[in-house]
């Protein structure tokens, strides 16, 4: 009799199926907790779309799990030039993750423009660019454009933080 570990070897797509299932369950749980009064003008209500999306996520997770357990697996794209036998490039991944974590930690206190600049500049630095001043100016411009794009274009105020009253 084969062990469970040997049967599941090479079936990493089951993790994606589990993630889809968890996302579907979370969406359905949140949709079920929505409290909305009945309206004559909107008999469908705001629960319908989340329930449909959650149910479709669950169906996709089951289909994917069944497919993987039957021997199916995802095929790499024809144009991919990634050699999967090489280990991860931690000298790129860790600084990139650091830029994202710095953004998360700074956004409420320092505001989007500062944390976004750190995010954009840290990302391009982690990916290999060494034009510090140019990258900093472009990162600042992107942070300002996204700040005002969200605020003026979408009506969503991002936190201004230390620049409150200036922006």
- Burial environment of residue 106 by CB neighbours within 10 A (0 to 12, 13 to 18, 19 or more): buried
- Burial environment of residue 74 by CB neighbours within 10 A (0 to 12, 13 to 18, 19 or more): exposed
What is the predicted pLDDT for the residue at 124?
Answer: 96
Q: What's the rounded mean pLDDT across residues 87-95?
A: 90
Q: At a CB cut-off of 8 Å and minimum separation 6, what does 124 contact?
A: 135, 138, 139
pLDDT tens digits for 6-52? 666 667 888 999 999 999 999 999 999 988 776 666 667 778 889 99
**Which residue in the block uniquely carries the two structure tokens 């669950």?**
58
Nearest to 118 by CA among 95, 89, 148: 95
pTM of the predicted model as reported, rounded to 2 decimal places:
0.58
Nearest to 162 by CA among 102, 107, 98, 99: 107
């Amino acid at each position: 009799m084969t062990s469970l570990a040997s049967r599941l070897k090479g079936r990493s797509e089951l993790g994606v199926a589990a993630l889809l299932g968890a996302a579907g369950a979370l969406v359905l749980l949140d949709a079920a907790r929505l409290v909305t009064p009945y309206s004559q003008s909107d008999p469908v209500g705001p629960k319908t779309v989340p329930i449909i999306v959650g149910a479709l996520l669950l169906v996709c997770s089951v289909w994917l799990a069944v497919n993987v357990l039957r021997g199916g697996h995802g095929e790499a794209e024809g144009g991919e030039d990634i050699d999967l036998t090489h280990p991860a490039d931690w000298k790129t991944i860790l600084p990139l993750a650091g830029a994202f974590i710095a953004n998360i930690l700074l956004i409420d206190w320092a505001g989007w423009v500062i944390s976004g600049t750190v995010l954009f500049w840290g990302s391009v630095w982690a990916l290999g660019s060494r034009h510090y001043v140019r990258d900093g100016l472009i990162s600042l411009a992107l942070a300002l454009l996204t700040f005002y794009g969200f605020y003026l274009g979408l009506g969503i105020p991002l936190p201004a933080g230390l620049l409150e009253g200036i922006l």
